Amino acid sequence: MDTLLAVLLLVNAVFNVVVWPTFLRRIAADPRARDADGRRTKFYTVHLVLISAALVIAAVSGVTAIVALVIG
């Protein structure tokens, strides 16, 4: 059971690392991401914060999974 949970954490981490950077590139290319002066809008900033949080969680999940697989 512990191995299964570790593998699920690892799959989650890999999924997040693959999906979120692609989404960030799409957000950056979105016309709502910058105002008329070229400055980043709240739309971009909010998505950047959410994606950053998701990637931090992915990193923690990945490290936890690797530690669990090595120890357990």
pTM for the full predicted model: 0.87
Model confidence band, residue 71 (pLDDT cutoffs 50, 70, 90): very high
| pLDDT tens sequence across 20-37 | 999 999 999 999 999 999
Domain boundaries, the chain: 2-71
With helix as H, strand as E and coil as C, how does the chain read? Answer: CHHHHHHHHHHHHHHHHHHHHHHHHHHHHCHHHECCCCCECHHHHHHHHHHHHHHHHHHHHHHHHHHHHHHC
Amino acid 1: pLDDT: 73
Q: Which residue has the tokens 């999940």?
A: 61
Question: 41 in the Ramachandran plot: left (φ > 0), alpha (ψ -120 to 50) or beta?
Answer: beta
